[in-house]
Structure 1
Amino acid sequence: MDDKKLVKELIAGNKKAFEEFYDKYYLCLYRSAYFLVGNKMDAEDILQDTFITAWNHIGELRSVNSLKTWLYRIMIRKAYRSGERKSKEVPDEYVQDKTDTTMLERGVSSDFTQDISQKNELQQALQMLDIKHREVIVLFYYEEMSISEIAKTLGCFEGTVKSRLSTARRKLRIILQSNDDTFNNLKMEVV
Structure 2
Amino acid sequence: MDKPEKRPFEEVYDEYYEKVFKSVYVRLLHMENTEDIVQDTFVKAMKAYDRYDPKVSSVYTWLCTIATNTLYDRFRKIDSDKIVSLEDYMEAGFEPGSADPELEKLTDGYARSAYVILSRLNDSERNLLSMRFGLEMSYKEMAEVLSSNEKAVGKKMERLLKKCRNIAG
Per-residue CA deviations over 1:72-99 (Å, capped at 9, x if unaligned) read 1111222334433243334988xxxxxx
Distance 2:123 2:39 in 1: 20
Say how many residue pairs are matched: 144
1:161 partner amino acid: V
| Cα gap change, 1:170 to 1:29, in 2 (>3 Å) | same
- Residue 61 of structure 1: how far off its partner (Å): 2.2
| Cα gap change, 1:39 to 1:91, in 2 (>3 Å) | farther
Secondary structure of the 1:4 match is coil
Distance 1:136 1:158 in 2: 13
Distance 2:62 2:131 in 1: 13
Per-residue CA deviations over 1:143-171 (Å, capped at 9, x if unaligned) read 33211111123333223312321221122
Verify the 8 A CA contact 1:42 1:82 in the aligned structure 2.
no
Distance 2:104 2:74 in 1: 18
Query: Counterpart of 2:28?
Result: 37
| Cα gap change, 1:92 to 1:62, in 2 (>3 Å) | farther
Verify the 8 A CA contact 2:27 2:123 in the aligned structure 1.
yes
Q: 2:116 aligns with which of 124, 128, 133?
A: 124
Report the TM-score, using the length of structure 2 for normalisation. 0.71
Residue 21, structure 1, aligned to residue 21, structure 2: no
Q: 1:63 aligns with which of 54, 71, 75?
A: 54
Report the TM-score, using the length of structure 1 for normalisation. 0.64
Provide structure 1 residue ranges, at least 5 long, that are not aligned to the other structure.
Answer: 7-16, 94-114, 178-191
Verify the 8 A CA contact 1:29 1:47 in the aligned structure 2.
yes
Query: Counterpart of 1:142?
Result: 134
- Residue 129 of structure 1: how far off its partner (Å): 0.7
1 or 2 for the larger relative contact order (CA 8 Å, sep ≥6)?
2
2:40 partner amino acid: D
Report the structure number with the largest CA radius of gyration: 1
| Cα gap change, 1:55 to 1:92, in 2 (>3 Å) | farther
Verify the 8 A CA contact 1:30 1:43 in the aligned structure 2.
yes
Moved over 4 A (4+): none
